A = this chain, B = another copy of it.
């Protein structure tokens, strides 16, 4: 492990505080799910951990202002907190409600929207999901077609959203809908929030090829949505969408998560094998491992520079894209190497409830291959790495 430079003593003290809290309060069954790299935690587990953090002073919502129950941490504190979550096998924060809709409402929401929606996110009473992509609008998001026709005080929704993570455990969905046709396809898009329990909504699971149920297709048939559920101006939702995508992409580098994954692999590689040799003593494996460790350190330092340097622009357009690209590339490399570590035993498709996360040895590693397959999604989701490169070429290089 390459140690990163320490922060100020105040911040390092802060790190100590959050670390201790996490270690002492994270329920063991939840820690184990995270330790085997499970991304799609059950709603109960998410809610439980979220509320433990909430009770500690709104830590479940690190970026939120105190008036809405958050700790109002600065960038460095948020960064350190998320690092400690990752390095101590705590679940990811709830991205859709906490990370995306919250900031969107702070910026674009009406006062009454803030009053009604934010408390239920803070308390994990409402689970949100995000409806952006459509069957024929993936990378080319602005070509979306799911229609919201204005009828009096309501919008009538028809169409569908796809790759909707957590729709099957969510109560509400927010997203972009087509309300008009402008000269540019970016016009005529509106940001709406929709109650998933309403009539006319069907949620079909879409299984990933390694078997997990994380995403869904959400169908809307004459679903009626009050105009009050619109955020911002009609037909002008594209700006909000862009803002949101920026928020999402930013978290997807997952540097600290990958650091934790690499530490797991280190333990595997250093575990003694009776009569056999440790994996780390294989020169070729060791070189691959070391190179990933160094690349990841370079990325971590770059991320810190981008996020916390006063000199870097806070807009983080191209920077977020670069972090996403390199972060997911390295993440996939780490998972590939981990999956190979188990040799014959990596082939076993163990049911999740039989995986013991504490058996970090080169055998009993059936889940590592599953993770390798599952995490192939990361260079694709949240704007594929190809799209991210387009963004960097345009935003940073002016091409």
**Interface positions of A (Cβ within 8 A of B):** 283-284, 287
Contacts and interface: CB of A to CB of B under 8 A. Distances in A.
A52 B287 CA distance: 51
A283 B287 CA distance: 10
A283 B290 CA distance: 15
Contacts of A284: 283, 287
A284 B283 CA distance: 8
Contacts of A287: 283-284
A287 B284 CA distance: 8
What secondary structure prevails in chain A residues at the interface with B?
Answer: helix
A284 B284 CA distance: 7
Contacts of A283: 283-284, 287
A134 to B, nearest CB: 26
Nearest to A286: B283
> 4 closest pairs, A vs B, by CB?
A283-B283, A284-B287, A283-B284, A283-B287
Nearest to A287: B284
Nearest to A284: B287
A287 B287 CA distance: 11
A284 B288 CA distance: 11
A283 B286 CA distance: 11
Nearest to A282: B283
Nearest to A283: B283
A287 B283 CA distance: 10
A283 B283 CA distance: 7
A135 to B, nearest CB: 23
A340 to B, nearest CB: 16
A128 B297 CA distance: 55
A80 to B, nearest CB: 36
A284 to B, nearest CB: 6
4 contacts: A283-B283, A283-B284, A283-B287, A284-B287
A284 B287 CA distance: 8
A128 B323 CA distance: 53
A284 B286 CA distance: 11
A327 B284 CA distance: 26
A284 B291 CA distance: 12
A294 to B, nearest CB: 14
A297 to B, nearest CB: 20
A277 to B, nearest CB: 14
A307 B283 CA distance: 39
A300 to B, nearest CB: 25
A114 to B, nearest CB: 50
A287 B282 CA distance: 12
A191 to B, nearest CB: 37
A283 B288 CA distance: 13
A283 B285 CA distance: 11
A337 to B, nearest CB: 15
A293 to B, nearest CB: 16
A282 to B, nearest CB: 10
A212 to B, nearest CB: 33
A379 B287 CA distance: 29
